A and B are shown apart, each in its own frame.
Chain A
């Protein structure tokens, strides 16, 4: 209990002290800076009254975000392969780098042990739902163009991603490392198709010994820049 009070006291003290160091306009209540002296300099004859023009500019449409969905197949190690679907949101930092978050879901099937043994089940049906989220850093390693026929050219990017996340599977949340590569095919300057291959790695001890499971995913996606 005592340390609880100590933490509270420290917080109050810190707000107070740092506030004192820089309270000017804290919460907008601080005093405004003193206005400059209004009396004109004695030698000044011409009043330099330059009007600052207010120009209202329509903001340029900025399209750094990319949002979309994907469908594909995912192999959950020891548990077979099923359809995976998910959503993706990316933010482009520079022409090369982007950050990306994905959320996806698939259903794990039966292990060969479960198939052969007949009735025995390692996990319940609801625990077979495999849900993941990942936060990745991506890099457009091979930007390029493809040419279709004589008059059409499309921009493309081959990119690599790596990141962290969590997977809910077999009754637990599992720390997941995610690596992969993808191909972005820009149908227009704002619409893209994606082909992605990813590996989701986590440690699992469901079948006795602890091991690192590789869960491979391949998907086709569609995104819009905004």
Chain B
């Protein structure tokens, strides 16, 4: 008897350089070609190795168990939502099983099944990251969206777009950052950032004076990336901006933000 090997079932294709394009194509295909009819052999079939497999009526631990599949019988995996799997038993009953139980099933050839899951290692090694942060920008409210690409675990490049909503003026800001993480494998990972960009401000319609302005900005900052769960992380940061105005003096603005992000 050879040792049973463990095969990881990818729930999403492995990230490649054309991941963005792949995602886009996949989304478009999913939307336009929603294929309810799928060949039966497209489903992944696994055998129950535990004494029994509990099928629930919904994807959550609060839903009741309505059916039990015995050891040795096989089930088809139809889909996955968060950490729950929709399976179909041989008698046609469909129900939801949690990851912990699914990990105890076997492939038809007797190999153990392992389901791919984002872990804290991916938090360190993932190439792409996108998130949303909100906070205070020199007294105004700011909402930011960013996307980042890791050159290596320590250095990543980020592109930011922000909307600024103040009492006297509104505006937007776009910038490009370099982020350095000194200890990327820590669960709470501190980082330093530097960047440059442009800011556009326009006074509110109820303010008579003032005119629209577009200025260059530079900034330095620091913050924390905190691994939460699965592909999810929390992020908090401080940035100090210099706005290169056309007037005699440059403006300095401080910014505090918190938010969440996904890596993939």
Contacts and interface: CB of A to CB of B under 8 A. Distances in A.
Contacts of B86: 189
B236 interface: no
B12 interface: yes
Interface stretch (B47-55, B67-75, B147-155): B147-155
Contacts of A34: none
Interface of A: 3-4, 6-8, 10-11, 14-15, 18-19, 21-27, 52-53, 55, 57-64, 67, 91-96, 99, 135, 137, 140, 143-145, 153, 155, 164-166, 170-175, 189-190, 205-206, 224-226
Contacts of B85: 60
A173 B170 contact: yes
Contacts of A224: 34
Contacts of A99: 260
A46 B189 CA distance: 46
Given A7-B218, A224-B34, 10 more contacts: A7-B194, A7-B242, A63-B79, A63-B81, A94-B229, A135-B132, A153-B57, A172-B206, A205-B206, A206-B206
Interface size band for B: 35 or more
Interface string B83-109: 111100000001000000000000000
B244 A4 contact: yes
21 contacts: A7-B242, A10-B194, A15-B155, A22-B154, A23-B152, A52-B5, A57-B44, A61-B78, A93-B82, A95-B59, A95-B61, A135-B143, A137-B260, A143-B58, A143-B63, A155-B57, A164-B141, A172-B205, A175-B141, A175-B143, A226-B34
B83 A94 contact: yes
Contacts, number: 151
A145 B30 contact: no
B184 to A, nearest CB: 9
B57 A92 contact: no
A53 B206 CA distance: 70
Interface of B: 5, 7, 9-13, 27, 30-31, 34, 42-44, 57-63, 77-86, 94, 115, 132, 134, 141, 143, 151-155, 163, 165, 170, 178, 180, 192, 194-196, 204-206, 216, 218-220, 229-230, 232, 242, 244, 250, 260, 262
Nearest to A23: B152
B82 A64 contact: yes
Contacts of B13: 59
A27 B151 contact: yes
A54 to B, nearest CB: 10
B20 to A, nearest CB: 16
B41 to A, nearest CB: 8
Given A27-B151, A205-B206, A174 B165 contact: yes
A135 to B, nearest CB: 5
B82 A92 contact: yes
